[in-house]
Amino acid sequence: MSERLTMQDPRTQYPQPPFPEQPQAAPGLARKMDPQADHGETSYTGSGRLAGRRALITGGDSGIGRAAAIAYAREGADVAISYLADEEADAAEVIALIEAEGRTAVALPGDVTDEGWCRTLVAQAVERLGGLDILVVNAGRQQTRPDVSELTSEDFDRTMKTNLYALHWIAQAAVPHLPAGGAVITTASVQAYDPSAHLLDYATTKAGIVAYTKALAKQLIEKGVRANVVAPGPFWTVLQPSGGQTQEAVQKFGSKSEIGRPGQPVEIAPVYVLLASQEGSYITGEVYGVTGGAGIA
């Protein structure tokens, strides 16, 4: 950790493009990425900021969800992660990392496009963690489609259900369990503010996440629960090579950011920690952009 905390030039702190072509079938596995993403496996050190908290994180097997899960465990939280069955190999690594911190880890494989499963996963998380204090709705679907004519109804429906419907179903099931001081954190994107032509459905859902969370925040503060949004820019996650970008775009991914490279998941994890912690007690209904300089408006 000391190496990461030393002063460094952010432009060269992590790998810069060009990257090799690396096609994967969706949903993809983080372990197959080149270069490997840094989720904080060896680079994140906690300081007890979430001691005794209980968190549910969707999409916790890889990418930003994995980074949040590792950080939460190292900050003292027990963590349940949801993921697709195809992502079991990645998820098993996260479960082991959580348990290595002496925390309770709960694995919840299933498909969040199924309303029944969304409600079941919350119930199982609450039962196995002994309650719920933090909800991170992060699981997402992103598939590039270069022309509107290629975006099928099936595509559109699955993206909507993964990114928006699941948010509603999971939040609806979880809210009754969240105590005063609890937190809801959702993952939007810079795409909500500056949508790419090839991500019509994805960008639409990310804008929806912002609106939904801001509205939810107004409801939840009446019971002492905060809700906020994190809006990442280009982050090096398995969403990208598994269909989220063309392989040509993967090779150059992040090069157009002001920093000149994609973000690594560990670089956004501290924002999820802040928004879940008591240190974020005056933060609600906000959108935190982590975009490498692009801004979110």
pLDDT tens digits along 98-144: 999 999 999 999 999 999 999 999 999 999 999 999 999 999 999 99
Q: Are strands 183-187 and 226-232 parallel, antiparallel or unpaired?
A: parallel
Q: What's the pLDDT tens digit per position in 49-76?
A: 999 999 999 999 999 999 999 999 999 9
Task: Report the C-alpha gap between 44 and 66 in whole angstroms.
Answer: 12
Give the integer Cα–Cα distance in Å for 15 and 260: 10
pLDDT value, residue 1: 43
202 is catalytic: yes
Compute the radius of gyration of the chain from its Cα atoms.
18
Nearest alpha-carbon partner for 136 in 30, 268, 275: 275
Segment 86-106 mean pLDDT? 98
List the chain domain ranges: 47-286
Query: Per 3-state DSSP, what percentage of the chain is helix, strand, and coil (rounded to 5)?
Result: 45, 15, 45
CATH number for the 47-286 domain, one of 3.40.50.720, 3.40.50.920, 3.30.930.10, 3.40.640.10? 3.40.50.720
> Residues 263-286: what's their mean pLDDT?
98
DSSP states of 182-201? -EEEEE--GGGTS--TT-HH
pTM tops 0.85, yes or no = yes
Identify the weakest region by mean pLDDT among 25-29, 71-75, 273-277: 25-29
Residue 295's pLDDT is 86
Residue 2 has pLDDT above 60, yes or no: no
pLDDT reading at 19 higher than 50: yes
pLDDT bucket at 3, cuts 50 / 70 / 90: low
Which of the residues 44, 202, 272, 288 is marked catalytic? 202
Burial (CB count <10 Å: 0-12, 13-18, 19+), residue 179: exposed
* Cross-strand bridge partners of residue 85: none
